[in-house]
Structure 1
Amino acid sequence: MEDKKNPRPVEESSQIPNITLLVLLGLIAALLYVGWQYLKEDSISDNELTNAGNDSIAVIDNNRESPVVAETSSDEDEKEAENKESEDKKSNDKEEGTKAKKDKKLDSKNKESVKPQTEKKDTPKASELSLTKGETITHVVQAGETFFGIANRYNLKWQSLQKLNPTVNPEGIKVGVTKLKVKVLKVHVVGSGDVLRVVAQKYGVPKALIMQANKKTRDITEKGEKLIIPLK
C-alpha cells in the first residue's frame, strides 16, 4: 500500500547525470579552447621576441659604427685645425719679420736724418760764406771788450773774425789801439719813422741782433743815427 502512495520520481533522477555530463564536456571544450589560444599567443610572442632581438642587434651594430665615424671625423677636424693654426702662425711670423725689417729700415733712416741736424750750428752765427757779401767796417777796441766778445757782438764766429784780421793776436788786443775789420750786412742811416722793428723787418734780421750790435738796451732811434745791421 505504501509503495503505491509514494512512487519515486524516476524522470528527475535520470536527467541529472545528463546535465552534469554536458556541463563537464562544455568545461573541457572551454579549457581546450583557452589552452589553444594561450599556446597560439606564446608562439606569436616568441616570434616577436626573435624579430625584436634581430632589430636590437642591428641597432647596436649601427650604434657601434656611428662612434667610429664620429671619432674619425673629429680626428680629421683636429688635424685640419692644427694645420690651419700652423699656417696662421707661419704667416704671422712672416708678417712680424717683414715688420721688424721695415722698423729697422725706418730707424736707420731716422738716425741718418738726425745726424745732419746734430752737425748744425747751435747758435745762429754768421757762416764764412756770408763774409763775402755785405760791408766791412772798422771797430776800435774799447774798454772791457775782448776778441771773442767783439765777434759775439756782431754775430760772428771768432774764427771768422780771426780770418778777417789774420795779423791780430786775439790775446794781445789793446784798448783804443787795436783796430779790427768787421763784416756787417749794412750800415743804415735812420730816417723818419725808422724804429728798430721797421728796420729789422726791412733787412730780415732779428731786432735783438740789431740792438746787440749797436749796444742798445731800449727800442729808441734818432733821425740820422747810423745803425749797424749785422749778418744773420
Structure 2
Amino acid sequence: MEDEFAKKRNIRPTEKSNLPVVTLLVLVLLVLAMLYVGYEYISDSSSNSEELTSVVVDSTLSETTVGEPVTDEPLDVVETEKAEPITKDPVAEKPAVSAKETKPTVSAASLGGQEITHSVQSGETFSSIASRYNLKTETLQGLNPGVSDVKSGVTKLKIQVQTVHTVGPGDVLRVVAGKYGVTKEALMKANGRSKDFSERGEKLIVPFASRK
C-alpha cells in the first residue's frame, strides 16, 4: 500500500502549453511576408523592363551626315543657299582711303597772320612743331597736306604765325610779348630761346595768342 501511495504522490501533473502553436503561427506569418515581398519585387522589375522597352529610339539622329549643319529651315531653302555662289561685296572690297587723301587742307587766309617756313630739326615731330608755334597738330598737317612724315634737314613746313617783329630800341622780350598779347614764355618758345635776350634789328616770330 505504501508503494502505491508513493507512486501516486510522485506523478507530476500534466501541463498544457500553447508555445508550439504560437511558434508555428509566427513561422507561417514570416513565410507569408517573405512571399509577399518577393512578389512585389518581381512585379516592379517586370514593370521597369516594360518601360525601358517602350522607349522609341529616334532613328533620324543616326542618319545625320557628319559635317552637314542641322537647321530648322525647309529643305528647299537650304538647297537654294547651297546652289547660290557667295558674291563679294565690291563696296566692302574697296580699299580704305589713305589718311593722306582724307587729310583736310587748311588755308593760310582762314588763319590770318603771316606765313613762315620751318626747317625740321632732329627729334622734331608734327606735334612738337605745332606746339612750338601754338598751333594744333591738325592745323599744321592741314597747312602741309603733301607731307606725311617729317625728316630732319630735309622737310620744310609752312607755318602760319601772328607776325614777325623786328626788334627796335627798348624791345625786350617782355615788351614785345605784351605788345602782341602773348606770354614771354610763348615768344621764347617760338624763337627757340632759352634766355630772355634780344638784339636790335633781330626778327622775332610772334605766335598766335590762342591755339589755332
TM range (shorter): 0.3 to 0.5
Give the number of the structure whose residues are more often helix, by fraction.
1
TM-score w.r.t. length of structure 2:
0.46
TM-score w.r.t. length of structure 1:
0.42
